[in-house]
Amino acid sequence: MESDPMDDMVNAPPLSAEDEIIKDTTFTYQGYQVVRSEFFAHINEPSIIFNNSKVSLNTACVNKLPNIDYVQILVNPEEMKLAVRPCGEDAKDSLLWCGINKKNGRKKPRQITCKILFAKIVQLMGWNPVHRYKMMGKLIESNGEYIFIFDLKATEVYQRISSDGEKPRSSRVPVFPAEWQDQFGLPVEEHQKSLQINIFNGYAIFGIKDSTVPNRIPLRN
């Protein structure tokens, strides 16, 4: 029996007797698209930025995992997804992803120089290395681990622009993928399928330390 695509939605809360409700048993989600989160303001949502041979996660990521100092970056070149996985300082290919704000003593994100990773991601995705690329992500739990997942295909592109006599700078207005032009988001059924993630299937760890060539290590069969 095929499941309803919205089975995992939260049940509607009880309403008071004064609320006027129109009962409609004919409503379906057919034809609806789930509006992409990228179309909204999302300062408190996890995001990752590739820019000028550097990678950084935002404050929201650090705040969601306040006890984590080191992470591993994983890339799935087939599904074109990137994962950020908490780890210990001594773990192979670990990266320090945060620093301390001297003014308030709180943790803050740090930019990580990653010339090799940046070049490989640019080549994989066909990006323009001059522009800045930002992706929204989700914190998921899989097999007892918390992991950030980012879709490399769902990018906000901030093009590098320049005026006469001025230093080139990133535009404040993002450019979205061309296929998003005529849609608000994925159809409900397709959106539901996209949430079914096999987290470690095909991922590779990239180690960016001392400008060494990254190692690719299979995690699990």
As a whole number of angstroms, the distance between CA 89 and CA 54 comes to: 20
pLDDT attached to residue 62: 94
SS3 (DSSP) at 118: helix
One digit per residue, pLDDT tens: the chain, 221 residues?
Answer: 444 555 555 565 665 656 667 777 888 888 887 777 666 656 688 999 999 999 999 999 999 999 999 999 999 999 999 999 999 999 999 999 999 988 888 999 999 999 999 999 999 999 999 889 999 898 988 888 899 999 999 888 887 765 555 655 555 555 556 665 666 666 766 766 655 544 456 666 665 443 333 333 333 33
pLDDT attached to residue 220: 35
> Dihedral angle at the C-alpha atoms of 130, 132, 138, 142, nearest 10 degrees?
30
Q: Is the whole model's pTM more than 0.75, yes or no?
A: no
As a whole number of angstroms, the distance between CA 133 and CA 147 comes to: 21
**What is the residue extent of each domain of the chain?**
33-206
As a whole number of angstroms, the distance between CA 120 and CA 77 comes to: 10
